[in-house]
Structure 1
Amino acid sequence: MNTERRERLRDAAIDVLAGSGARGLTHRAVDAVAQVPEGTTKNYFATRDALLRAVAERCVELYDRIPAEPPSDRAGLARLLSALLADVEGPGRPRLQAVFELQAEAARKPWLAAVLDAVTATDFARFRQAVRAAGLPATPARVSAITLALHSAVLHLLTGGPRTIEAAGLNDLDLFVGDLLDSVFGP
């Protein structure tokens, strides 16, 4: 099969999932967004589950490509975490929206939960490495607190209205991250 077309279909499926939700993810919708003849997506991904798997795997691949310089100190860690959160409003937004849609589907599809587990497990490992590189104590509890706080922050940045964003302190990402690090490691 045509690898370039397959990637185009998977990227289009991310856009459909992000824009229309899980119910809107159909073969026809992906064909339309990818601007390919009707039936093309079904030729590559015969079932809806195959399409969901393809989107999940593509999200994992895209996540693995996010460049991240290891921080050399606490300030560098803060910049890294702020940049990751800022990406929610940038080019990472459709992928993150798609991941949250996939996670909702995964609650009913254990095979999908296993595919998505790679992203979450990678987050804990990446943040542990970043905390260590910054010279801070990377205990399991501290890494979990940071990772879970960032996951929650991403969800609120994707879905929250202005009052929620303000109540969570996400209207100033640098301040949010600074306060998070102070809470976890002390000032």
Structure 2
Amino acid sequence: MRTNPERRQALIDAAIEVLAREGARGLTFRAVDTQAKVPTGTASNYFSSRDDLLTQAGGRIYERLTPSDGTLASVHEGARDAARLKELMHEVVGRVSAFPTGFLALLELRLEATRRPELRAVLTQRIKADVDFNVSNHRESGLPGDDTSVKLLMLAFNWLILERLTLPDLYDEEEVHRIVEEAVDRVI
């Protein structure tokens, strides 16, 4: 296996784009090579199997969706009230929506995980770690709401983001804003 980390990352990013555009069935080494604009056969030199590529793409999506250190630090700044929580939730919805191919590729991976136990195990572990991180971060922040509130907001906003990306004309920006505000009010 090749070890050029920049090339590997470019191939994984290309795989994310292919997943979002073509779905899991369209994810082939050749499609990744074409997307990454590298010679045919390059991806197969970096990944031992298609499953390896799927798994690494899932991990990379989460790397790219992780908030910046500045955003994470800002959670602990300012007021500890519903208004501040709403600001943070707007940031989450905006940040995740700004990486549409990542979110759509993750959905493809989740569907593929229903047929691939190893991928299911990896995604379950990664998503559980994400939920646990968000719950823990929320507890430490002193913001209103409990562990269940965090989980409910995650579930609600994941679906809201799905609607925005797959049916973009369903809700305009004003309505998305209202939904985020109302979801926070009702959950906490």
With normalisation by structure 1, the TM-score equals 0.84
Conservation of the 8 A alpha-carbon contact between 2:145 and 2:187: no
Q: SS of the residue aligned with 1:172?
A: helix
Give the corresponding residue for 1:183. 186
Give the corresponding residue for 2:110. 103
Gaps of 5+ in 2: none
Conservation of the 8 A alpha-carbon contact between 1:60 and 1:116: no
Give the corresponding residue for 1:22. 24
User: CA 1:76 to 1:122, structure 2 compared with 1: closer, same or farther past 3 Å?
Assistant: farther
Give 1:134 shift: 4.6
Give the corresponding residue for 2:124. 117
Name the CA distance, whole Å, in 2 between partners of 1:174 and 1:127: 21
- Are 2:89 and 1:81 equivalent residues in the alignment? yes
Name the CA distance, whole Å, in 2 between partners of 1:3 and 1:113: 25
Name the CA distance, whole Å, in 1 between partners of 2:174 and 2:96: 13
Give the corresponding residue for 1:93. 100
User: CA 1:66 to 1:16, structure 2 compared with 1: closer, same or farther past 3 Å?
Assistant: farther
Q: Deviations over 1:105-136 (max 9, x none)?
A: 01111211222224422442343223652531
After superposing on structure 2, the runs of 4+ consecutive aligned residues of structure 1 that deviate more than 6 Å are none
Give the corresponding residue for 1:148. 155
Match for residue 45 of structure 1 among 30, 36, 47: 47
Give 1:97 shift: 1.0
Name the CA distance, whole Å, in 1 between partners of 2:145 and 2:88: 17
Name the CA distance, whole Å, in 1 between partners of 2:68 and 2:15: 20
Name the CA distance, whole Å, in 1 between partners of 2:186 and 2:154: 13
Deviates further, 99-108 or 118-127 = 118-127
Gaps of 5+ in 1: none
Name the CA distance, whole Å, in 2 between partners of 1:65 and 1:173: 21
Conservation of the 8 A alpha-carbon contact between 1:79 and 1:174: no
